[in-house]
């Protein structure tokens, strides 16, 4: 039976370590005659370190940096360094290439920020680890360390808890549990790199299924050592080697090992894993020149505007970190994730995003989900336009001439004249509302896209459909409920079942009305009667008066001759004054019946709006006339 070699699903750091190697080799390419120094070995692998030494790239310990001269090149490895060392390098005027892991940089910034706020910094991890030493240097080397279930000193009341990136999750949780019980005020940031847990989980699963296990990585790498301990616990035939050259013959030729697993630590480059797999399969082992060529050939090309897929490896307040199979991870900032999507992603999900910056200040590729959504939305909008389909948009803001609306992240223009059927006085009332609109213009341009929508077009169509149905059902003389839409000097337009009808001033009341606004309001619901119907020309005449009792019907019963009544002066004539007894019923007081005195004009004794007592002299129902006398009441 042939030997089967299985690689753990999460192993190594892919191209992460290549970032530092590339920086060093690029400096050498530009300055071939100099020595490039690195603060500690860039790679936890003796073969790779020796290869770099051959290229005149030398590792240097912190204690020897005083020997560096101005303009010397120094590379800071992924573990990072204390702040005072960083400042010292700057003071020496060295050429600094900072290859600190972006995750570690963020922890350093947190340590510095909360130290300045008065918090005591707690670091869950090994106080002697280079990464932890570096972090501690950003809070004046005053951190408390939590390791193996113990704190290095007594805890104060106010603390900030951070973690080494490669620490176990359970240790971080134990530290938090203790702090929550013994400190009055604390903040905590889970700064464990998610790749560590995933790597350990896949190593656990694989080592329990194979006959033998190979763990690749530096002997002085705590991350790799933990992987070795995990695998050894599940598989007694587990070895820890730095490279393919160190794999013993017993593993290569052992007949008892039919199924062999391989995993690698976080600092193990992809090419070292490839090299080991080749050797286990009796293929040629690459030399270091082949290795660098392999790395270059397999390096992903990144350009702005590129759509790229990757796996979510970490999530925090800054955004989502994505393994994009590149020498650095991609980050999708929270500002580049829509509100609708912000809570929909989880660790391990595959995600598609668009490159908007090849490298930021932390060395990450900056990605955007919003730009991908916009591209999808733009395609949807084009399809809706071509198929003449309506869409729902949200009103975003008011601008000159109309409103800006949004459809899944895309802005569209809604002209003021197309917002409603009628003129809109206050466009700002629509902000925040969701409206159904149709796309009436869609132009894709190199600089910008032009998209215009209309709500009026939909309303017009709806109104036409409603009106057509209404005209079929309207009947002369029937009563309907209507809504006052517009008011003019001559009357009001009332919408009945979607159709505008005219309520003339003369049909509003039996009484005289000078101004329709005195009795009607916009959007007021009123009962009206159809008094004229022209379906062919679509004209509708309405009346409120027709629904009211004619006050002259029983006029003789209501106003018997010889009785005294109270009325109101409503207008004057050359021959007297008209007194309103009730709306629609006016009587005339002749000049001779106003006063016992001789007067030339009615306004000598009376005023418009004045209430007066009158005696009913004569009622002519047929001609709708009533003769009154003020004089006779005295």
Distance CA 394, CA 408 (A): 9
**198 noted as active-site residue:** no
DSSP 548: S
Distance CA 492, CA 480 (A): 16
Residue tagged active-site, from 26, 87, 131, 507: 131
217 — phi, psi (to 5°)?
150, 165
129 is in an annotated binding site: yes
Distance CA 189, CA 180 (A): 13
Distance CA 548, CA 586 (A): 17
574 is in an annotated binding site: no
Residue whose C-alpha is closest to residue 65's, from 32, 87, 98: 87
Distance CA 129, CA 425 (A): 69
DSSP 452: E
31 is in an annotated binding site: no
67 is in an annotated binding site: no
Distance CA 294, CA 299 (A): 8
End-to-end CA distance of the chain: 135
Distance CA 60, CA 39 (A): 5
* The two structure tokens encoding residue 194: 């998610």
Residue whose C-alpha is closest to residue 238's, from 256, 218, 258, 261: 261
314 is in an annotated binding site: no
231 is in an annotated binding site: no
List of residues 6+ apart from 143 with CB closer than 8 A? 111, 121, 122, 123, 127, 132, 135, 136
Residue whose C-alpha is closest to residue 452's, from 407, 493, 483: 407
Number of Cβ within 10 Å of residue 344's Cβ equals 10
List of residues 6+ apart from 593 with CB closer than 8 A? 576, 617, 627, 628, 629, 630, 631, 632
Distance CA 411, CA 399 (A): 12
Distance CA 316, CA 333 (A): 10
Distance CA 132, CA 171 (A): 15
Task: Please report, to the nearest 10 degrees, the dihedral formed by the alpha carbons of residues 422, 426, 431, 434 taken in order.
Answer: -20
449 is in an annotated binding site: no
139 is in an annotated binding site: no
Number of Cβ within 10 Å of residue 447's Cβ equals 4
C-alpha Rg value of the chain to the nearest Å: 44
DSSP 168: -
The continuous run of DSSP H or E covering 537 comes out as none
Distance CA 440, CA 107 (A): 52
Residue whose C-alpha is closest to residue 171's, from 187, 151, 185: 151
47 is in an annotated binding site: no
- The catalytic residue positions are 131
The binding site comprises 14, 44, 79, 101, 129, 165, 193, 221-223, 267
């Amino acid at each position: 039976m042939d030997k089967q070699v299985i690689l753990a699903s999460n192993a190594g750091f892919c191209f992460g370590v290549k970032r530092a190697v590339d920086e060093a080799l690029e400096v050498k390419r530009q300055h071939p005659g100099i020595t490039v120094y690195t603060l500690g070995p860039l790679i936890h692998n003796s073969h790779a370190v020796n290869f770099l030494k051959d290229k005149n790239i030398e590792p240097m310990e912190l204690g020897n940096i005083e020997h560096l001269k101005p303009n010397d090149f120094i590379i800071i490895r992924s573990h990072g360094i204390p702040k005072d060392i960083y400042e010292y390098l700057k003071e020496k005027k060295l050429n600094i290439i900072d290859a600190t892991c972006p995750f570690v940089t963020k922890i350093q910034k947190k340590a510095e920020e909360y130290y300045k706020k008065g918090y005591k910094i707690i670091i869950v991890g090994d106080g002697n680890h280079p990464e932890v030493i570096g972090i501690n240097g950003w809070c004046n080397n005053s951190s408390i360390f939590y390791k193996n279930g113990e704190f290095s000193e007594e805890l104060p009341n106010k603390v900030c808890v951070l973690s080494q990136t490669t620490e176990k999750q359970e240790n971080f949780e134990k530290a938090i549990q203790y702090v929550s019980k013994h400190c009055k005020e604390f903040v905590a940031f889970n700064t464990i790199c998610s790749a560590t847990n995933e790597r350990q989980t896949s190593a656990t699963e694989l080592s329990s299924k194979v006959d033998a296990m190979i763990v690749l990585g530096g002997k002085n790498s705590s991350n790799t050592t933990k992987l070795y301990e995990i695998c050894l616990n599940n598989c007694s035939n587990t070895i820890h080697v730095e490279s393919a050259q160190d794999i013993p013959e017993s593993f290569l030729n052992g007949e008892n090992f039919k199924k062999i697993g391989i995993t690698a630590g976080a600092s193990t480059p992809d090419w070292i894993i490839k090299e080991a797999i080749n050797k286990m399969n009796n293929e040629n082992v690459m030399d270091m020149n082949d290795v660098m060529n392999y790395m270059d050939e397999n390096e992903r090309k990144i350009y702005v505007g590129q759509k790229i897929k990757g796996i979510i490896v970490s999530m925090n307040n800054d955004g989502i970190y994505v393994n994009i199979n590149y020498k650095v991870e991609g980050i999708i900032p929270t500002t580049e994730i829509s509100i609708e999507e912000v809570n929909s992603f989880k660790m391990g999900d595959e995600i598609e995003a668009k490159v908007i910056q090849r490298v930021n200040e932390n060395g990450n590729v900056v990605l955007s989900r919003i730009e991908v959504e916009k591209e999808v939305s733009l395609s949807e909008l084009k399809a809706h336009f071509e198929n003449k389909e309506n869409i729902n948009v949200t009103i975003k803001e008011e601008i000159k001439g109309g409103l800006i609306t949004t459809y899944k992240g895309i802005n569209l223009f809604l002209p003021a004249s197309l917002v409603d059927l009628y003129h809109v006085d206050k466009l700002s009332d629509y902000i925040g509302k969701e409206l159904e609109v149709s796309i009436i213009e869609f132009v894709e341009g190199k600089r910008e896209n032009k998209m215009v929508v209309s709500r009026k077009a939909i309303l017009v169509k709806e109104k036409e459909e409603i009106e057509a149905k209404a005209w079929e059902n309207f009947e002369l003389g029937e009563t309907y409920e209507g809504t006052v839409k517009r008011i003019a000097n001559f009357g009001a337009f009332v919408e009945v079942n979607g159709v505008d009808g005219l309520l003339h001033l003369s049909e509003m009341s039996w009484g005289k009305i000078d101004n329709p606004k005195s009795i009607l309001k916009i959007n007021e619901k009123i009962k009206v009667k159809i008094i004229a119907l022209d379906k062919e020309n679509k004209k509708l005449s309405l009346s409120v008066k027709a629904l009211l009792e004619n006050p002259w019907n029983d006029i003789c019963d209501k106003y018997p001759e010889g009785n005294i009544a109270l009325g109101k002066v409503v207008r004057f004539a050359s021959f007297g004054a008209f007194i309103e007894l009730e709306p629609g019923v006016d009587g005339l007081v002749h000049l001779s019946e106003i006063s016992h005195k001789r007067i030339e004009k009615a306004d000598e004794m009376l005023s418009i709006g004045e209430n007066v007592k009158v005696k009913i002299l004569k009622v002519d129902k047929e001609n709708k006339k009533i003769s009154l006398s003020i004089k006779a009441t005295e």
